[in-house]
Structure 1
Amino acid sequence: MSSALAEHNGNNGVSADDVNTEVSSAVSATTDRGGLCQLEVNVSSAKLKEVGGIFAKGNAYVELTIDSHQPPLKTEVGKKTWTPSWNEHFTVLVTLNSVLEFKVFNHNVLKSNVLLGQNSIKLADILRENNGKLKDCGLKLDLRTEKNGTRLPAGDLYVKLNGIDLTTSELNNGIQSNSTTPANGSDNRSGTDSPASPIVAQSPNSNPTQQATARPTTPVPPTSNRPPPPPPNQNNTAGITGSIPNQSSTATNEGGNSDSQVALPDGWEERTDPYGRHYYVDHNTRTTTWERPEPLPSGWERRHDQYNRPYYVDHNTRTTTWHRPTSESIRTFQQWQERRQQNQDVRRQNYQQRYLIPSSGIQVVGRDLPPGWERRIDHNGRVYFVDHNTKTTQWEDPRTLAPLPPSWEKKVTDQGIVYFIDHSTKTTTYTDPRTGAPSFSSYQGNFDWRLAGFRQMCQDSALPGHTKIAISRNTIFEDSYNAIISLKPYDLRKRLYIMFKGEDGLDYGGLAREWFFQLSHEMLNPMYCLFEYANQNNYSLQINAASSVNPDHLKYFKFVGRVIAMALYHGKFIDNGFTLPFYKRLLNRGVSINDLEQVDPEFYNSLNWIKDNNIDECDMEMFFTADMEIFGEIKTYELKTGGSDIKVTDENKEEYINLMSHWRFTRGVEDQTKAFMEGFYEVVPLRWLEFFNEKELEMMLCGMQEIDVDDWQQNTVYKHYTKNSKQVMWFWQFVRDRKNEQRIRLLQFITGTCRVPIGGFSHLMGSNGPQKFCIEKVGKESWLPRSHTCFNRLDLPPYKSYDQLVEKLNFAIEETEGFGNE
């Protein structure tokens, strides 16, 4: 399968930063799972034997595998050297009998990576040599490679081990007990083998403390109807003072429990009180309960923080929680995720294509055109003017403009955009010196012209070089924030070079599209409390007035403003859009009562009622004030100075409605909006957007949503296929048979984004500019389809049947993520 996927299957391992960002140094080295320990591995450097000739340069990286079958952990690539220095830390879960395998590869862009050398170590041997204590334990590993059946030296690899501190008895007992279990350190807590994973979850210092404010307590058995069971003591609970017992040593079945019952979790024991009632002892927390505990679900683990508080690690999602998970809670969470995904799909479908009504231009009556000018009408009924003197055309009527000032000259770019030359200062500008407005702002009837002018301004302001941003998929929000907020605004206008850690994709534009899509999905997530949905039926976003719960929220709003402007500047799309009134405020345009209708229908209807009725007759006792509740506290704001003493009457109600409409959009979000706009305008100045309205700005950021299959098919090219090839006909049948949401996912698989650009599929952009969607015949029928998002190309093997094509395409779309080599 791995050979069949290109840009969407490049990551088969976990990068160092994926792991290290989710590890707390406060977590103890030995965990509660039977025999599992936390080990820190530092891959320092290497001295490699040169291969490929004297002028060849190495691009080496290391793969670390625990017990052979786990996904490898990969370092960054040490470029152009045979003595790379990585100094990367990995924190993994191991048993005392684990085997650590190190492989050094030479990274190649155009072909498969080459294994330079490998070596493996047995943790038990290292522990015996160091008396069970691993603290800055430096190792020099002799790398070997096999050639023609002979093992040859390939260099040296330097690593350090940290984090295990055992006594001699613990070491001997641990190695002896683990020798009877599989080397992967599996346990039978849930009735099946669940091997230890080298993926480490987040520290409770980051996630759980944000989710709960108090330590959860183990339920205490009720005392009103029956006496509680006796507390555990040292005589009958060996696990209290010694190491926490595992199930095999402490879990009993007193009282004749049936064999069909699920085994107790580690550290639990079932007992019977003097009245013959069953209760359960938790040796981990020294508590008792009447309820039989369920074993932890597959992939979960119990740990303790530095304050000895128990928390739970979900290795499946690499998250932590204070609450003990149950099958029911996990099922509820999964159902919530499914509903959230469905809501997201509905929100995506709310986007509609919007076009401006073509303007017929302004006709001046009673004056003749200047000599050499002619008035014409294009095929859309729009009026334009021809200057036969310069052999140019323009939308504006030459009779409405004054002559250019002395030393000024008007010219047109290759894209048809008017600009002006000031020969006295030897400068050029798009601003008309007669009006002070951009030259293409008069093209009100042609959105494409104004968009082309905006793109030209972005291109003219771009700086040479590129901005490199390296991020991890699992921490894309945090990594992107740290990278973007530390850069100067002018660096954000350079060409972007995005790297996903642990993946080998080359960014010709596809990775940048993927980054904008994934990052916007994360940073605009209402669960971060920065933004909220407009209402329960409108999934467009607006600023959350309660965002101040995060003391650094203004910094994050500035970051979000920068990212949104970068998407606009670089011609990329974001996952979700904002409300139209938000775009109006971004364009520095006023909002009115009509803008409230889609955001807050109830508020809108209330103001409309005031507008349509006589307030004096109703005697409503309203004043120029408004109330707002945040965190349970109600505050009163004056809409104008002294508003608490000014009563609303039928005479001044128009002013009240206008002030109240403005307050509704600004209540509690003035500072957040200011920070957002500060970050936005650092990248895209407001004057560049003066000739767009809020609907066009939304289209520029979000693109069109509905997939027009006919437009897609008409703007597709083929290599080694023709439009009449049976595989091509099957492909379009497959597309037409899918729902719109599935078509979007197919489009995202091929192009890196689910958004279609403004203008349809004919405006798809590739790494070298406009690039239509391409279907190329590649591979064998057993291969999976491959995507090249930077070139909008799908490699479609010559399948023998329609059913086979459907199976392969569905698998490629649903089961792949990441980027591989081009």
Structure 2
Amino acid sequence: MALASSSRLNDPQQHIRVTLHGATGLVKRDLLSLPDPFAVLTVDGEQTSATPATRRSLSPTWNEHFDITVRQSSMINIQLFDHKKFKKRDQGFLGVVNIPAAEAISLATSNFGEIITRDLTMSTNNLPVYGKLLFGFSLPNRPPPPTPHVADPNSFLISPADTAHLSPYATGNPNLGRAQSATASIASDQRSFTQEEEDHTRTPRQPLSSVSLRPSPSPTLAPTAPRFPQPEIGGRPISTSPNPIPNSQGRLLDDESGNPLPQGWERRIDPSGRTYYVDHNTRTTTWHRPGSNVRPATSQGPTRATTASATASATSGGATSPGSGGYSEIPLPLGWEERRTAEGRPYFVDHTTRTTTWVDPRRNLNNQQNAAAQASTTNAQLGPLPSGWEMRLTSTGRVYFVDHNTRTTSWDDPRLPSNVDDNAPQYKRDYRRKVVYFRSQPKMRALPGKCDVKVRRSRVLEDSYTAVMGHSGEDLKRRLMVSFEGEDGLDYGGVSREWFFLLSHEIFNPSYGLFEYSTHDNYTLQINPASGINPDHLSYFKFIGRCLGLAIFHRRFLDAYFVPSFYKMMLGKPVSLGDLESVDADLHRSLLWMLENDITDVLDETFTTTEDRFGELVTIDLKPGGADVPVTEENKKEYVNAIVDYRISKRVKDQFDSFMEGLLELIPVDLLGVFDERELELLIGGMSEIDMDDWSKFTDYRGYEKTDQVIEWFWQCIRSWPAERKSRLLQFTTGTSRVPVNGFKDLQGSDGPRRFTIEKSGDPQGLPRSHTCFNRLDLPPYTDYESLETKLLYAIEETEGFGQE
């Protein structure tokens, strides 16, 4: 997300001053002591300033000024910490406030010297925070107004200059119309001419209760054009002005097009080169040419809904009103409301966060569609970010993520599958959207604690059956910790991936009689109808269902593919004649011919079928009394459907029901229904095909460069190998031979996405080593191609087991 130089030219630097007055109502986490709060101010993670710590206080005061350099796209971050706990893991975090620099610049120019109050919010550590932060923005090159001395953030003195910016509800004067919420202030874009002149002749500070709001006489000054602060884009400033009518000499009495203005109107230009109009009849100013359709003010204060229900209906319905620029046809987002000041300028209220802003939230609606989709899944549902990741906000409030491990940024939440490329097929786009929804559901969240599974490599199936069936369904939803007997490896993902790899080769082995291959030339699996030879086969099918649920719940892959009809049965969908092709191709061709041709006097069949059960031919009725019902041209479709239903589902109904009983203990059936049968196949088994270009593209290097000779030899070697050997290498380094649907950029590590990594490590005479929890290969700096290939091949084919370094 590096910005181009042209973008920086369009976004010049600006200097503003931040005043950190204090905070109030901070959280108290220790029973017997109070925190020592201090604030840390950062801009885009680079400029950092800090206040001194205030000892033992929940309402600290600092009154510290900091001059910072920002751009419109910058983000100002103010964090509060407890100095006594700053060296601990959570750094004594007390809250954070993020302010887009665009908003700060507007506040610095329009609300000069005003104290702003914002609620402190949580960071990514999800620690509860309370309280408010008091701060302000101003311009360094303007003489500062009298700074209120915040002796107590709950009760401080305000000068008469500051009363011009107070809410009418705070002062009790209805003529100072301005809306203000509990967490954000909205100041008028203009100040009256008299106030502008009085700024230079203010009286000393007085308590708020003794402030006189009546304008005091001011010395006679030469009439000048009012100095308007910089409004935000799309703003419609109108301000009252009790200034006397200026001298008519030098007036501009026509508009920018040369058309004459109405009687008593004058056009002026402010120092920024913007045109505004003065109405000497009513002593007001406006940005609008006289005669344009401007909504008149109907009250002295901002319009408000008369009842809470009226407000709710306006916001939930996405109400719009005229005067919202080019967005009047677009409904407001849920929870937003448009209001107007006494002068008719629109502003917007976010009832969700209880904040107000001049910026129309519809302005960035199109740019934030992806962010809105991710925002629908809360941090509580997705869990903490992986180690080394941080969540930040852009100036428009869009969330992005910083990977400090690779020093890169991304719009994609690392806890979710990555975004597919623009040229990716539609099924990948649909699949990703469904996986995001599936993973975000509360029922798919891991429970506290851990679930231990200890097995021997020589008896993987037996030990796994004992361990998995010995736990309840709820216990299996805890963090999975797999260990192999006699091995020291700790399970941070790699050990459990290898366990699933080995287990899937055992439980689906046809020699155990539970599953069988569908045809001789296709290694897809189906339930063996003769599995009943094992008296405990139904218990084993429940075990297999649990293992499949474990793999889906803990985001692992099984090294197996089933016939398409098996996935349809899992979703409760009816099977069809086309599904029979993968089960029995010869029978499928025969039934298809029967449907396409007239069978009168050609076939002599009844509603029965025969099976070979261990050398004995058994006749099964497809319907009650089927042996006495002949198949005719009229009922042949019924016969075909009955054959398909029996061969695919009915003859393995008991086994399948036991399998689903185990699966549904971990995965709710309604969530499985999110996917279709093809997507369910990808969810269970991932992709077996390895794209070498994708693999090399999403590989990181430590100690090596992509152009090093050893790395070039490595990729040359892998590209020359057959697919089976590539899968063995992938299983050796990651614990599984399968690849996520989105490719190697979605490889999972111990705590989230972890790209395949090649690290320069080891003796050139030794073998490569792998760290399956981190998808890392330790590759020694071999001196020739033959040594690299020989050592690598020996490592993936002759080694097994985990150890610790």
TM-score normalized with structure 2 length: 0.48
**Which structure has the bigger radius of gyration?**
2
* TM-score of the superposed pair, with normalisation by structure 1: 0.47
Question: Larger relative CO (CA 8 A, sep 6+): 1 or 2?
Answer: 1
